[in-house]
Amino acid sequence: MTAAVDNLATPAERPLARRFRLADPSMILWLAMIAILVFLILSPMVRLIVSSFQEPETGRLTLSNYAEAYGHARHLQALWNTLVFGAGVAVLAVIFGVPLAWAISRTDMPAKGFIRLMVFGAFIIPPYLGAIGWILLAGPNAGWLNKVWMALTGAESGLFNVYSMSGLIVVVAVTSFPYVFVFTAAALDLVSSEMEDAANILGAGTVRTTFRVTLPLVLPAIVGGLIISFLEAIALFGAPALIALPARFQVVSTQLWQFFEYPVRVEQAAAYAMPLLLITIFMFWLQRSVLGRRGYTTVSGKGGERRIIKLGPWRFVMLGYALFVCALAVFLPMLVLTQAAFAKAWGRGFSLDNLSLQNFHYILFEQTQAQNAIVNTFVYSGITAFAAIALSLAIAYVVTRKLVPWSNVLAFLCMAPFVIPGIVLAIGFYAAYAPPPLALYGTATILILAYTTRFLPIAYTSSAAGMRSINPEMEEAVRILGGGRLLAIRKVLAPLLKRNLAGAWILVFIPATRELSSAIFLVGPNTRVISVMLFDLSEEGNFEVLSALGMILLVATLIIAAVGFKAIGRDFMVRSS
C-alpha cells in the first residue's frame, strides 16, 4: 500500500511544497498572456493616443496636432460627411433589411431560400468590390445603367452618377443591409404568434398588427442592426476611396489616408482618428444598452407556436421588392463584374468576340505582383486565423477555468478590438511599431499582428462559447484518474472543440482575406495583398484585371464558406454578429 502512494508528499516535505507554490505556473501564464495582449492591443492604442499629443520631431507634449487636424474647414467637412454617410447607409440598410427579414421570417413569400442565399451573398461581397461593380453600372456616362437609359430614351446624358454622396450611400447600404436583416430576422423568429393573435382578437388587421405589435417588439434588434451598419460604414475605407475621391469629397477614412501621403503625418492622423474611435465606443455602448433593455423580454425564445402570415397576392409584391434589393446588392454588380472579368474591354459589351480568359491568364501566370498578392493574402489570413484562435483559446481556457486572478481583464482586452475601427487600429500599429526599435513597417509580421488583433474578438467569442459548452467535469475526470492538465486538453478538450475551432478558423479567415482598411496603411512593396492590389488597379482604371482578381477572391471565399457550411452547419456565419 505504501509503495503505491510513494509520490505523495509527506509532512516532512512541506518546505518543498511551499517553494513550489511561489513559482506558481498560473502567474507566469497570466503574465505571458497579458504581455501578448498589451503588445497587440494596449500598446498600439496608447501609442495612438500619446502620439496625437506629441510633436513629431521632439516628442514634446503639444495640442498642435489637434489644431492642425481640426483647423481646416475641409477636415471638418469630412467629419460631417462621414456622419451624413453613416446615417444614410444605416437608414437605407433598415429600409432594405427589415422588410426582407419580416417577409422571410413571418410571411408566405415564395422563394425564401433563394432570397436568404442572396442576402448571404451580399454579406460576403467585400464593399469595395460592390463599389467597383457600381462604378461599372452607374459611372456618369459609360455605366451600363446609364447606357441603357440613354438608349431607351435617347437622352443626352445618363440618369445616375455613382460619384456622389447618394451614390456612395446606396453602394455601401446594399452591402451592409445584411446586418439589419440578420438581427431583425433572429428577433422575429422568436416572436410568438400569440402576440399577434392578441392584437387580432381585439380587431386589428394584419397591417396594423405588424406595425403596432410585431415590429415594435423587435425594435431593439432593428436599432442594433442600424447601429452596426452605421459603424461599419464610417469605418470603411475602400468604397469611399473609390467613389468619394473622384467625386471630390472626403470622409474621415479617406482624409486619414491623405495624412499618410508624403510627408506622413502620423501624429495628425492619430488626432484626427479620435472621433471615429469615440463614436464607435459610444455607439457600441448604446447598442448594448438598447439590446439589453428589459420590457422586451417577450422575445425570449420560449412559448407559443409561430404561424405564417398569408399575404395573398401581396406575396408577389413582397418578392418583387426582395428581388429588387438583391439585384442592387448582388445580381447587377456581380453581372457586370463577371462580364468585365471575362472581357477584353468591359465597355464593348456582352458580345462573344469580347470574351477572353486573358485577364485570368495575366493574373495567374504573367504578373508576378498579382501572384504574390494572392499567395500573401491566403498565407497571412491562414496564419492570422491560427494565431487568433490559439491565443483566444488559451485565454478562454484560463478565463472560464478561473485559473488566474483578474482573468476578466484578459477577456476584456480580447474583446476590445471589437470597438476599434480597422483604420484606427492600423494607425495605432503604425505609430507603435513602424518606427525603430521594431521597425516592422512593410513586413508581413506587422500585417499578421494587426489582422490577429483585429479579428481576435471573433476568435474569442467562438472559443469562449466552445469552452463554456464543455462541462469542467470532463477535464476533472482526466485529472482525478492521474492525467495532467495538458493531457486533459489534448485528449478531451481539443477533440471536443474541433468543430467549434474549425468554424472559428473560417470566421477569422474570410474577413482576413478581404481586409483592406487596416492593410492599406501597413503594406509594403513585398507584402501587398489582394484587397490592396484591387485598390491600386482601380486607380489605374484597369477594371478587367481588377474584376478577374476580385472573382478569384470571391470564388475562394465561397468555396471556404461552402466547406464551412457543410462541415459545421448553416448558422456558423451568423453567430459572429
Partner 1 sequence: MSKLVLRGIEKRYGEVTAVAGIDLELREGEFVSLLGPSGCGKTTTLRMIAGFIEPTAGIIEMNGLMLSSPSGVLPPEKRQMSMIFQSYAVWPNMTVEQNVAFGLELRKLPREEVRRRVGQILEVVHMGHLAARYPAELSGGQQQRVALARAIVIQPQVLLLDEPLSNLDANLREEMRFEIRRLHDEFRITTVYVTHDQAEAMVTSDRIAVMNQGRIEQVADPHTLYNRPKTRFVAGFIGRTNFIEGDSTGDRIEFGSFALPRSVLDGAPASGKVTVSVRPQSMRLSRAQPGNGQPQVAVTIAERAYLGEFWDYVVAPANGAMKLRVTTPPLEIYQVGESAWLAFDPKQMTPIT
Least Cβ distance, residue 395 to partner 1 (angstroms): 22
Rounded to whole angstroms, the Cα distance separating 554 from 123 reads 12
Spatial neighbors of 262 by CB under 8 A, at least 6 apart, are: none
Closer to partner 1 by CB, 157 or 469: give it. Answer: 469
Taking CA atoms, 136 is separated from 143, 147, 158, 339, in Å, by 5, 11, 13, 10
Closer to partner 1 by CB, 17 or 61: give it. Answer: 17
> Is residue 421 a contact partner of residue 280, using CB atoms and an 8 Å limit?
yes
Closer to partner 1 by CB, 5 or 152: give it. Answer: 5
Residue type at 132 in one-letter notation:
I
DSSP letter assigned to residue 3: G
Closer to partner 1 by CB, 26 or 141: give it. Answer: 26
Q: Which cell numbers in the block locate residue 205?
A: 388587421
> For residue 166, how many other CB atoms are within 10 A of its CB?
12
Least Cβ distance, residue 19 to partner 1 (angstroms): 9
CA 116 to chain centre: 19
Closer to partner 1 by CB, 315 or 401: give it. Answer: 401
Least Cβ distance, residue 244 to partner 1 (angstroms): 53
Residue identified by cell 454588380 is: 333
Least Cβ distance, residue 480 to partner 1 (angstroms): 4
CB hemisphere CA count around 318 (13 angstroms): 24
Least Cβ distance, residue 505 to partner 1 (angstroms): 19
Closer to partner 1 by CB, 16 or 207: give it. Answer: 16
Least Cβ distance, residue 24 to partner 1 (angstroms): 12
Least Cβ distance, residue 410 to partner 1 (angstroms): 21
Q: Which cell numbers in the block locate residue 247?
A: 467625386
Closer to partner 1 by CB, 2 or 351: give it. Answer: 2
Taking CA atoms, 409 is separated from 47, 102, 388, 414, 419, in Å, by 20, 39, 17, 9, 16
Furthest-apart CA pair in the chain: how many Å?
102
Task: Tell me which residue of 103, 79, 527 sits closest to 314, measured CA to CA.
Answer: 103
Q: Give the footprint of partner 1 on this chain (CB under 8 A).
A: 1-2, 4-5, 7-11, 13-18, 20-21, 471, 473-474, 476-484, 487, 491-492, 495-496
Closer to partner 1 by CB, 26 or 157: give it. Answer: 26
CA torsion, ordered 219, 225, 231, 236, to nearest 10 deg: -150
Question: 402-422 burial string, b = 16+ CB within 10 Å, else e?
Answer: eebeebeebbebbbbbbbbbb
DSSP letter assigned to residue 143: S
Taking CA atoms, 544 is separated from 50, 333, 539, in Å, by 44, 14, 13
Closer to partner 1 by CB, 348 or 468: give it. Answer: 468
Rounded to whole angstroms, the Cα distance separating 433 from 555 reads 34
